[in-house]
Amino acid sequence: MGSRTIDYRAPSVDAEQRAYAWTLMQSLMGGLPPPGAEGEAWYQRWCERTAALTDVRVASVQERGRSRVAGGLVVVPMGHFLCGRSVRTAAINAVAIAPEHRSQGVATSMMTACLREQRARGVPISTLFPATWSLYRRVGYEVAGSYRLSVIPLDRLPRPSPQDDAGFEISAFEEERDRSEILALYATWARSQQGALDRGPWMWLRVLHAMAQGKYDRPFAYVFRRESRLVAYVVFVQNTVPAMGYELAVLDFVGADRDAVLAVWRLLGAHRSMTPHVTMHVSSADPRVLALKEPPRHSITQSLDWVARILDVESAISARAYPKAVAGEIHLDVRDEVLPDNAGQFAVTVEGGQGAARRSTSAGAPRVTLDIRALAALYTGRMDARGLREMGLLHGDEDGVDRASAIFAAPAPWLGDMF
Ligand SMILES: CC(C)(COP(=O)(O)OP(=O)(O)OC[C@H]1O[C@@H](n2cnc3c(N)ncnc32)[C@H](O)[C@@H]1OP(=O)(O)O)[C@@H](O)C(=O)NCCC(=O)NCCS
């Protein structure tokens, strides 16, 4: 067998970007765009809505004097709110390798190169939704938060009420008028949600325009004003079903306080003559659902985990916030085979809501030894050190395990957005 190398880079010509976009459609979207003008229109839209707002990268296989694009990925610059502070993430989207190039290590080497690139850029963490775990675990990702789709029956929601709705002016979203207030309201709310996205332009475009799987260009969006101030908004789609009615799916729902949240529920409840329920992503103890007088029995129909990768221990530790009441020091002995510069011994100190990690040569105590994967799960608050020790990813005595759990403790991280 001749020599074979895999290059990871931005597409150098449009033909390379097209080759990746087509592999993406085939691998993730269930089919190729139609040939001719319709396919070209799809590609131009993808360029505007994805390529222009993200970093497209391709994996090109060099073999027998030929170079072929085998697949690629998209890196979306965003953040996750962790204990109230936005931590920059290289959010990985649309990983796809053409079927004829699979199981030859192309995705593994592409992901490894991507992690090196993002670390060199100073990005502290990377996150993604794994379609397969072994690939991403192999390069250092581990469970970081949940993504749960709930089906909520509309007949248990409050009904529109002239009295309760009197304080609100409800109107259809108008981009120019409402955009900055929606972004500000979302940011305030997301800051209080462990793991929530600090969305960038790509994510906002998906929420407000491009989410409806091509069925509709623009979902329905309503804003709620109280004394002229925007205090709530909701974005949803109505997917047609064969018989009468539609499926109601909420893409985004934020209320500044309980009254504003209830006003949104009343608007959703007003759809009950055409559909029995609404789907939306919820956290495990979601204040929006628990704000209802009679929280409805709801079923979780989809429960996925998203995963994180610590690209740089020192900058990640200082990027996150910590509960102000927690103070202490822990020594971490971190293993990282994929990014060896990221491995080593660190003394981590947390005080007054701020954390810092410094390289250390002394074997201080309390200490734990852990794989870089374990640090990701600990860092977001998804798992405590005891659970990671049970998984065989962390080692330490009781003191070390208790201290690590206390320092990184956080509310359960979750996401309402898929990327
Ligand atoms: C998932 C996907 C990206 C993996 O791409 P890939 O290039 O086949 O991945 P790799 O070759 O690096 O790894 C796949 C398997 O090949 C094996 N492998 C790696 N190097 C190899 C080599 N040199 N020779 C033979 N097999 C190899 C790996 O052990 C791995 O198996 P495992 O994951 O069961 O442990 C690809 O299958 C794909 O595009 N699927 C459809 C879209 C999708 O699911 N995308 C992911 C969205 S998160």
Cβ(324) – ligand 1 distance below 6 Å: no
Cβ(29) – ligand 1 distance below 6 Å: no
Among 63, 103, 133, 136, residue to substitute to test ligand 1 (most atoms within 8 Å of Cβ): 103
Worst-scoring range by mean pLDDT, 156-165, 192-201, 210-219, 337-346? 210-219
Final residue before a domain boundary, out of 74, 101, 123: 123
Asked if the structure places residue 300 within a domain, the reply is no
Task: Note the pLDDT tens digit of each residue in 332-363.
Answer: 999 999 999 999 999 999 999 999 999 998 77
pLDDT in the model for residue 239: 83
Cβ(28) – ligand 1 distance below 6 Å: yes
For the entire predicted model, the pTM comes to: 0.95
Nearest-5° Cα angle at 179, 87 to 145 = 30
Q: Are residues 286 and 162 in the same domain?
A: yes
State both tokens at 413.
Answer: 């991280």
pLDDT in the model for residue 243: 79
Task: Note the pLDDT tens digit of each residue in 171-186.
Answer: 999 999 999 999 999 9
pLDDT of 297 above 90: no
pLDDT in the model for residue 31: 80
Worst-scoring range by mean pLDDT, 5-14, 111-120, 215-224, 313-322? 215-224
Q: Are residues 90 and 193 in the same domain?
A: no
Please give the average per-residue pLDDT across 85-100, as a whole number: 97
The torsion angle over the Cα atoms of residues 135, 137, 143 and 148, rounded to 10 degrees, is 10
Q: Which residues contact 290 (CB under 8 A, 6 or more apart)?
A: none
Q: Are residues 238 and 270 in the same domain?
A: yes
Distance CA 234, CA 385 (A): 38
pLDDT in the model for residue 209: 81
Distance CA 384, CA 368 (A): 12
pLDDT in the model for residue 140: 98
Q: Residue 13 CB: number of other CB atoms within 10 A?
A: 8
Q: Are residues 169 and 252 in the same domain?
A: yes
Distance 162 CA to ligand 1 centre (A): 57
The three-class DSSP label of residue 271 is: coil
**Pairing relation of β-strands 220-226 and 246-255?**
unpaired
Q: Which domain does 60 fall in, by range?
A: 4-123
Distance 104 CA to ligand 1 centre (A): 7
Distance CA 16, CA 21 (A): 9
Distance CA 129, CA 177 (A): 33
Cβ(108) – ligand 1 distance below 6 Å: yes
Specify whether the CB–CB gap between 148 and 98 falls below 8 A. Answer: no
Specify whether the CB–CB gap between 91 and 78 falls below 8 A. Answer: yes
Distance 212 CA to ligand 1 centre (A): 29
Asked if the structure places residue 140 within a domain, the reply is no
pLDDT in the model for residue 218: 74
Q: Are residues 246 and 343 in the same domain?
A: no
Q: Is 416 left (phi over 0), alpha (psi -120 to 50) or beta?
A: alpha
Q: Are residues 176 and 108 in the same domain?
A: no
pLDDT in the model for residue 217: 63
Which atom of ligand 1 lies closest to the CA of 102?
8
pLDDT in the model for residue 266: 96
Give residue 48's identity as a one-letter amino acid code: E
Q: Which residues contact 162 (CB under 8 A, 6 or more apart)?
A: none
